A = this chain, B = another copy of it.
Amino acid sequence: MFKINENYLKLPGSYLFSTIAKKVSAFTEANPDKPIIRLGIGDVTQPLAPAVIQALHSAVDEMGNAETFHGYAPDLGYSFLRETIAKEDYEAKGCQIAADEIFVSDGAKSDSANIQEIFSNDCKIAVCDPVYPVYVDSNVMAGRTGSYDPKTEMWSDVIYMPCTKDNDFVPELPKETPDLIYLCYPNNPTGSALTKEQLQVWVDYANKNGSVIIYDAAYEAYISQENVPHSIYECPGARTCAIELRSFSKNAGFTGTRLGFTVIPKELMCGEVSLHSLWARRHGTKYNGAPYIIQKAGEAVYSPEGKAQLKDQVAYYMKNASVIYQGLKDAGYDVSGGINAPYIWMQTPKGMGSWEFFDYLLEKANVVGTPGAGFGPSGEGCFRLTAFGTYENTVAAMERIKQL
């Protein structure tokens, strides 16, 4: 008789955003007259930019003609996109990343879940707390996290690095040395950022201790301050210790279009084996490349028109961020984030847990946010709102919250 992967059964409950979707759907059914404003999940609302739409139409036409039709894509991505990324995202920022160190994929969620696969099951992971749930859950499914304690909501074999108001949301170096360190900056969910000096501390630590940093830079387009790095490769030494994950979801609205990439420098070695070769092998065996038309859309993101249009789109969302930030402050809440990231992080009112505040906001203001506890134990007592709504809805949501 066949057996299942028992690690799956260790996962407590369902994926955070599925739980929220169910709660909201139950509320909407019971209260069809109360229009909900969703500032919960990090999904965008603005349409794809005209330059991207034009590239999509043009690529679709190519697919309709035998002479310009594209079958299987190169596993690791088309050169036209990898070279553009190398030039625009790295060379332009003074980072040494070659086109063949870039692996194009269907998005940063898949990559952040799959990357653990190339490491030994003995590896110990460290995560910020609170954190994007996929990093931990994908390691749970691989059997790398030990046992779960429902009281503390922590895994026995995971190193948690609290990021709270007390340390200004910057994790301290862990006491126990981790093998894999997941860092996401600008941060989801807290909306905080690291300066280049602060990130350099981690690069030096990883090189000294033989750790690998998995650096999720999905929100780099929202950086507004000069001393905040857009890529970990801005820090000397990162080529020997860091993998970077990037997404087109938030800078170009590709949440429903699906495109991302992972960077693995060729110097990142475990003895004689390069992680680059392992990830290439994974792509070759388990993946068949992102669709041609989507890769052409990705290329258009870097065209002069695309850049200008998307700069406006990011500015639109960041205007929402400041509306939320100021609105919550005016309503008397303790607020952070929203300056280099599209997320605003707030402390819930005294004595109110984060799920309790979720229900309160849903029922009283008909506004959906995300409870901090859903991102990890140190998220308890906090709450996340996102800037990805429309401007009108964002303003309306703040009015409702102020009137509570």
Contacts and interface: CB of A to CB of B under 8 A. Distances in A.
A94 interface: no
A125 to B, nearest CB: 10
A21 to B, nearest CB: 10
Contact of A4 (B110, B118, B137): B118
A288 to B, nearest CB: 5
Contacts of A107: 288
A161 interface: no
Interface in A333-377: none
Contact of A258 (B122, B123, B289): B289
A63 B71 contact: no
Interface string A14-28: 110010000000000
Given A14-B281, A258-B289, 7 more contacts: A3-B122, A3-B179, A15-B284, A48-B63, A53-B60, A57-B60, A256-B289
A221 to B, nearest CB: 17
A303 to B, nearest CB: 16
27 contacts: A1-B210, A2-B119, A2-B270, A3-B123, A5-B118, A8-B118, A8-B282, A45-B71, A46-B66, A46-B69, A47-B63, A47-B66, A53-B64, A56-B63, A57-B60, A66-B390, A69-B256, A71-B255, A107-B288, A109-B286, A109-B288, A113-B287, A117-B141, A134-B286, A256-B292, A257-B291, A257-B293
A45 B41 CA distance: 41
B3 A119 contact: yes
Given A66-B46, A286-B113, A256 B72 contact: yes
Interface string A110-121: 100110011111
A381 to B, nearest CB: 26
A225 interface: no
B66 A45 contact: yes
A286 B114 contact: yes
A65 interface: yes
B291 A256 contact: yes
A290 interface: yes
Contacts of A83: none
Contacts of A168: none
B292 A257 contact: yes
Nearest to A49: B64
A4 B270 contact: yes
A251 B71 CA distance: 13
Which of A120, A210, A256: most chain B CB closer than 10 A? A256
Nearest to A120: B3
Nearest to A125: B2
A183 interface: no
Given A60-B57, A69-B46, A256-B71, A5 B286 contact: no
A50 to B, nearest CB: 7
A11 interface: yes
Contacts of A211: 2
Interface string A143-163: 000000000000000000000
Contacts of A15: 281, 284-285
Interface in A133-189: 133-134, 137-138, 141, 179-180
A73 interface: yes
Given A44-B71, A258-B289, A292-B256, A210 B119 contact: no
A282 B273 CA distance: 29
A336 to B, nearest CB: 26
A293 B63 contact: no
A92 interface: no
A8 B278 contact: yes
